[in-house]
Each structure stands twice: as structure tokens, then as C-alpha cells.
Amino acid sequence: MSAQFQLLNAAAFDHTIKRLCYELIENHNNFENTVIIGLQPRGIYLSGRICDELQIITGLTGIAHGHLDVTFYRDDFRRRENPLVPNRTQIDFIIEDKNVILVDDVLYTGRTIRAGMDALLAFGRPKKVELMVLIDRRYSRHLPIQPDYVGKVVDTIASDNVKVKWKEIDEQDEVFMITENEDNL
């Protein structure tokens, strides 16, 4: 038997995105030398929302924003029973000597982020890479990767599952955790 717990409702979700934007503004000011890259498949929703909200808050247009597919850079690419389906990379700007904000929805083991950093090098050598995640699943890392910007930290065990729903594809914004009841363990 499993149980579901809501971690963020729509209002908290929106508030978290606004807070993350203000943190970025503090560190990147006018975004002249900063680019935002969402990791496929679900980091693109957070990066898109962040860019939209930054434009509303700052009035800046033209913040460089793209999507990065890391499928072929993953260390488990050939180990899966069901092959990964590649997504589309869309980076139509130079990242050489830029501050790159890599964005994903959930940080779990760190392997997707590592793949993202490897994939970035195909587009140049960034000056600095920062990581933004909506949810940081602490205590689950396989690699020493920590986010610079975090929406919410959640302490989970391996059998827990964190799901992010995006209104763009799921018709609502919500984050919840599914956990197995101890009776079944």
C-alpha cells in the first residue's frame, strides 16, 4: 500500500518560482552574460517558467534560454530495458565564457546533471555552471552534485517517488511524494 503526500500546491508552486527568480536576479543582475538551459524532458518546464517570470519581474527581454537533451550522455543509456527516446536540443546561442544556469525539476542521484554538464561542452566552455532545481531529494546522491538554487528540499528514501505536475502537460501545478507504507516493507 502506498501513500501520497502533497509537497507543493499550486500557490506554493508559484511562490517558489518567484523566489527562485529573485535569487537569480540577486546573482545575475541584468543577465547580460547569463544563459538558462533546461534539461529535457521536464527541466524545460521550470526553465521556461523561470524565464517568463524573470521577464515580468525585470522587464528584460532576450534572456538567452534553451533546452538540452542529455540522452546520449547518460551513463545508463545502454543499460536500460526500455531505450530512452531522445528529445530535441535547442540552443541557438553561444555559451562560451557565459554563466550557465542548468535547470531540472528534481535532483535525485545527480546522474542526469552530470550528463547535462558533459553535453554542455559540445556548445563551448562556460565561464561558470550553476544548478537550479525545483525539488532536491537529499540523501539520494550517487555523485557529489549540489544545487545552487533550490525550490524545496525533501528528505526521501530510495523507495519514495517524487512527482512534479506541470500545468503545461498535466493541467495543474503540484508536487507530491509517493511513499510505501511500512506495513508492506
Mean pLDDT of the chain: 92
pLDDT band at 88 (very low <50, low <70, confident <90, very high): confident
Count: domains in the chain? 1
Tally of CA atoms within 13 A in the half-sphere of 158 that contains its CB? 3
The per-residue DSSP string of 101-118 comes to EEEEEEESSSHHHHHHHH
Tell me the C-alpha distance between 97 and 78, whole Å: 32
Q: In this predicted model, what pLDDT tens digit does every residue of 114-158 receive, in sequence order?
A: 999 999 999 999 999 999 999 999 888 999 999 999 999 999 888
Q: In this predicted model, what pLDDT tens digit does every residue of 89-117 receive, in sequence order?
A: 999 999 999 999 999 999 999 999 999 99
Residue 114, domain member (yes or no):
yes
Measured in degrees and rounded to the nearest 5, phi and psi for residue 61 equal -115, 155
Average confidence (pLDDT) over 164-177: 96
pLDDT at residue 86 greater than cutoff 70:
no
The pLDDT value recorded for residue 72 is 84
pLDDT band at 184 (very low <50, low <70, confident <90, very high): very low
- Cα dist. 4→8, 108, 117, 159, 167 in Å? 12, 18, 33, 13, 19
Q: In this predicted model, what pLDDT tens digit does every residue of 51-84 receive, in sequence order?
A: 999 999 999 998 999 999 998 887 765 555 665 5
Residue 61, domain member (yes or no):
yes
Host domain of residue 68: 2-180
Residue 185, domain member (yes or no):
no
The pLDDT value recorded for residue 18 is 98
Geometric angle at alpha carbon 31, from 88 and 40, rounded to 5° = 20
Show the beta-strand stretches assigned E in 77-168. Answer: 99-107, 128-138, 149-155, 161-165
CATH code for position 168: 3.40.50.2020
